[in-house]
Amino acid sequence: MKKLVTFISAIVLACTLLSGSVSAFNDLDETEKGAILNLKERGIVSGVDSDHFAPRDKINFAQSVSLIVKGINLNIDNASFVKKPEATDYFANVPNHVWYAEAFIIAKMNGLDIPKNVNPKAIITREQYADMLIKALDTKGSFPVEQMPIIFEDADQIDAKYKDSIQRIYLYKIATPDGKPLAYPKQEMTRGEAAVWLHNTIQFMESQTAQTKSGSYASVNGLKMYYEIQGTGEPLILLHGGLGTIDMLFGQLMPALAKTRQVIAVELQAHGHTADIDRPLSYEQMADDTAALIKHLGLDNADVFGFSMGGGVALQTAIRHPDVVRKLVVASTPYKSEGWYPEVLAGMASMNAEAMVGTPIHEVYIKAAPKPEDWPTLIAKMKQFQTKHYDWTKDISAIKAPMLILLGDSDKVRPDHALEMFRLLGGGKADGSMGGLTNAQLAVLPGTTHFNILERTDLLLPIIPPFLDAPMPKVE
């Protein structure tokens, strides 16, 4: 069967999508040009002629299956057969003699979900192509979903069996939403879009395979706390949100910040690689853990950046251990319970471990947790922790460390609450140009929610590094 892939490589020239000499096409736009020419250089695609790729032409099942098999390098080289498999063994409408027959066999035996009665000449839809591409990717390893799921406005149009693949296509950045979060699942795929998705899948696969992580553990307050360090320079502690991990929430932002700083990302009690211990979850205790880690690392102090729950931990670290905090960045963080919208508080109170099994958050947890069986315990503790009333009004006013408050304009935290916190720190009370500037800064990010604020590097990077790099205010 080793001849199968070689045979495909030769005959798919006839379908005008695969292989060919490297030369530029003059019918590509800038958004697809780099990806398609890269595939051409790899010998994966070719054009309808030397000058044209025809990116707007539709792509059918036969072309799609052949493209994915070749691009992801699927094969059945190590399989043993009593009888040589034929396309008609698996498909009613795929003759054994056609150029794409072997590709269908290889795809089928690698787990791609192709219907038995598929029409090879039928145009493939976005959800069908996404599903085949993700299943092909899964043959190359385990690639966990490490971000919050996307809420598509047309989710009701996605076939149930394709929902996971559609989520992963976008969460892996293989496809990018165009404006509003719409998946367009029934839209017919074009040659150009199919090629770009394949290129992005290959890039994702190669980057994930090449990634190596250097994680460490510190013994603090009876806890074996996991942390990762990237970059050099002034230290910056990153604190994730509830049920989050370093990868899930800081996967994009951490490398960008590490270009100019030593970024130390932490996984708090019972989260990610840090195992739970016999004590409740509390902002105060996690703040003590964070301060202990800073001292464990031999640092006099550090800047601290917390998101959501991690922002609350950052605030408490500054309140309880002001000597270890130089500057604070808090994103999507209330300083009292009422800062959350009522429906958010109701959602926290209704958390159910069993109902959350199989969700992306649960999948991330079981892949990272030292004891995956502790999932019900974590959810029970989180429910108790998140529904406990708190109000740090007096404490916030006493914080001396310069603070940057970040919020999405469509966040889970009320914008007027963020403004209240800014005012508690002396901001928003006078014209800054007339001497009313304080050590606090407030930034509300447009078009941003609780779920995507940490992905908005286009907005965060022009704000956070300048704030951290600015000279410390003079002590009066």
Helix (H) or strand (E) holding 334: none
Q: What is the pLDDT of residue 11?
A: 38
How many DSSP H helices and E strands does the chain contain? 18, 8
**Which pLDDT band holds residue 17 (cuts at 50, 70, 90)?**
low
Q: Write down the H helix ranges in 266-308.
A: 283-296
Instruction: Say what the pLDDT of residue 143 is.
Output: 74
Task: Tokens 């036969």: give the residue.
Answer: 62
Superfamily of structural domain 216-469 = Alpha/Beta hydrolase fold, catalytic domain (3.40.50.1820)
Could you report the per-residue pLDDT of 233-255, keeping only the tens digit for each? 999 999 999 999 998 899 889 98
258 vs 474: CA distance, rounded Å: 27
Distance from C-alpha of 305 to C-alpha of 265, rounded to nearest angstrom: 9
Say what percent of the chain tops pLDDT 70: 91
Question: What CA–CA distance (Å, rounded) separates 248 from 238?
Answer: 13
Query: What SS3 string covers 192-223?
Result: HHHHHHHHHHHHHHHHHHHCCCCEEEEEECCE
Whole-prediction pTM: 0.61
Q: Where are the domains of the chain?
A: 3-210, 216-469
The packing angle between helices 61-71 and 191-210, to 10°, is 20
For residue 186, is pLDDT > 50?
A: yes
Q: Vertex 129, ends 127 and 135: CA angle to 5°?
A: 100
